[in-house]
Structure 1
Amino acid sequence: MIHIEVVAALTIREDSVLVAQRQKGEFAGMWEFPGGKIESGESHEQALQREILEELNLPISVDQFFMTIKYQYPSFHLTMHCYLCTALQTQFENLEHSEVRFVSFDHLSSLNWIPADVEVVENLLTKKG
Structure 2
Amino acid sequence: MKTVRVVAAIIIHEDKIFATQRGYGEFKDGWEFPGGKIEPGETPQEALVREIKEELDIEIEVKDFLETVEYDYPEFHLSMDCFFCTIRSGELVLKEHEAAKWLTAETLESVEWLPADKGLIEGIREYLVNQINAR
Give TM class, smaller chain. over 0.9
Q: How many Å separate the matches in 2 of 1:57 and 1:105?
A: 25
Q: Please list, as runs of the form range in 1=range in 2, the aligned pairs for 1:8-23 lying within 5 A after superposition.
A: 8-23=8-23
The CA deviation at 1:90 is: 5.8
Q: Please list, as runs of the form range in 1=range in 2, the aligned pairs for 1:1-80 lying within 5 A after superposition.
A: 1-80=1-80
Q: In the alignment, what sits opposite 2:133?
A: none
CA RMSD in angstroms comes to 1.1
Aligned structure 1 segments of 4 or more residues deviating by more than 3 angstroms: none
Q: How many Å separate the matches in 1 of 2:105 and 2:127?
A: 11
Q: Secondary structure at the match of 1:81?
A: strand
Superposed CA offset, 1:33-78 (max 9, x none) = 0000000000111000000000000100001111110001111100
Segments of structure 2 that go 5 or more residues without pairing to the other structure are 130-135
Superposed CA offset, 1:75-113 (max 9, x none) = 110000000101013621110000123222211111100
Q: How many Å separate the matches in 2 of 1:124 and 1:105?
A: 8
Q: Secondary structure at the match of 2:124?
A: helix
**What is the letter of the counterpart of residue 46 of structure 2?**
Q
Q: How many Å separate the matches in 2 of 1:22 and 1:11?
A: 16
Quick one: percent identity of the two aligned structures? Answer: 43
Task: Provide TM-score, normalisation by structure 2.
Answer: 0.91
Q: How many Å separate the matches in 2 of 1:97 and 1:27?
A: 12
Q: How many Å separate the matches in 2 of 1:43 and 1:80?
A: 13
For these two proteins, the number of residue pairs brought into alignment is: 129
Query: 94-103 or 26-35, which moves further after superposition?
Result: 94-103
Q: How many Å separate the matches in 1 of 2:102 and 2:56?
A: 13
Q: Secondary structure at the match of 1:5?
A: strand
Q: Secondary structure at the match of 1:88?
A: strand
